[in-house]
Amino acid sequence: MFDRLVGNQRARDVLRRMLEQGRVPGALIFAGEEGVGKKLFALELAKALNCRSPRGVEACDECSACVRTGRLAAEAKMGADAGGLINWSEHQDVGLVRPEKRFITVEQARAVEREMNFRPYEGAARVLIIEEAERLNDASGNALLKTLEEMPPTAHLILLTARPASLLPTIRSRCQVVRFAPLTAAEIEDYLVQHKKRAGAEARLAALLAQGRLGRALALNLDAYRQQRDAMLAVLEALAARPDRVQLLRAAEDLSDAKRKDDYEPSLDALELLIHDAWRLALDPAAQIVNEDLRERLRKSCGGVTNRRVAAWLARIEELRAQLAVNVNRRVATDALFLSLAAVPAG
């Protein structure tokens, strides 16, 4: 049932209305940021279309069709009849298409066309969900168009995407769009607590760090984040007072260590969050911040955090991020970044 899902009441109402009117489109685009629950809503719609004991127009979540559809996950076995190109749930009429490496291939798009033309094996509808649909390139997108133009009444295709504008206009014009918004921190925190994923201050921190994405909150490694954050807090403290260039160069050396390359960009994320938190406290000592457990340390640093400095610091960090797209020497680039941050005047 849709009520067990988190947030996005408007999308929930739209899907319920489609089911009540018996007018679920053959092709849908679920558009919204990664981790806001698009796939969960798509699976719930697939359940509702095939449920054996529906409650009104929604799925019961208890019959064998609902239970087997709900098991659609990364480890689901590949469908041999589709040449291994579609990931099937235990329900024979519900499947998932994921990009192969960088793109969704022409072969996958053609497999979707074949499967959509079959009548349902055991339920009332065939439902295929395409994850990261923005990874359809021109060739696979054009191959999918034939499917969209000739959708059988018992077939439904749901495209999940964080970037609907990246889809071919001809695809967008043949699909009804359902938009999904980021969740509130309170909604994510309530979910984490109710489902015993996290509790107390940890649930609150994860909810704030998730930035509206439940999937991110569930995947967060808070121990790793705290280690990255502690290192970056030392950088902020060295910047906010009289800049300590020796300490900054040591921090740059640690950050750019090849053994910690996976921590590099998450550490920059943590530094930007700390800068934002210190800035909020400089403007309002009672402001809500993400790193609430560091409020006192950040309050001591916020005197050196001015509007001019914050704007310059964030701009220079983003400039470094752009350089990471090319083959730059991270040690040299990080040294240069931290020294340039120290050079920004307070006034």
309-324 residue pLDDT tens: 899 999 999 999 888 8
* Cβ–Cβ under 8 Å, residues 335 and 251: no
Q: What is the pLDDT of residue 76?
A: 42
Mean pLDDT for the chain overall: 89
Read off the pLDDT of each residue in 238-264 and give the average, rounded to a whole number: 86
Q: Write down the domain spans for the chain.
A: 2-181, 186-219, 222-342
Assess whether pLDDT exceeds 80 at residue 75: no
Q: Please answer whether residues 141 and 168 qualify as being in contact, where contact means their C-beta atoms are separated by less than 8 angstroms.
A: yes
CATH code for the part of the protein at 222-342 = 1.20.272
Where are the extended beta strands (E) located within the chain? 27-31, 87-88, 94-97, 126-130, 155-161, 176-179
Average pLDDT for 178-206: 90
CATH placement of domain 2-181: 3.40.50.300
Please state the rounded mean pLDDT for residues 299-307: 82
Mean pLDDT within 324-328:
77
- Residue by residue, DSSP assigns 13-38 as HHHHHHHHHT---SEEEEE--TTSSH
To the nearest 10 degrees (0 to 180), the angle between helices 307-323 and 330-342 is: 170
Q: What share of the chain is helix, strand, coil (3-state, %, to 5)?
A: 55, 10, 35
Q: In whole angstroms, what is the distance from residue 135 CA to residue 282 CA?
A: 42
Can you read off the two tokens belonging to residue 22? 């018996």
pLDDT at residue 51 tops 90? yes
* Higher-scoring residue by pLDDT: 55, 2: 55
* DSSP character at residue 58: B
In the numeric block, which tokens belong to residue 1?
């049932």
Confidence of residue 274 (pLDDT cuts 50, 70, 90): very high
Token pair for 204: 């609150």
For residue 23, name the pLDDT band (cuts at 50, 70, 90). Answer: very high
The pLDDT of residue 73 is 53
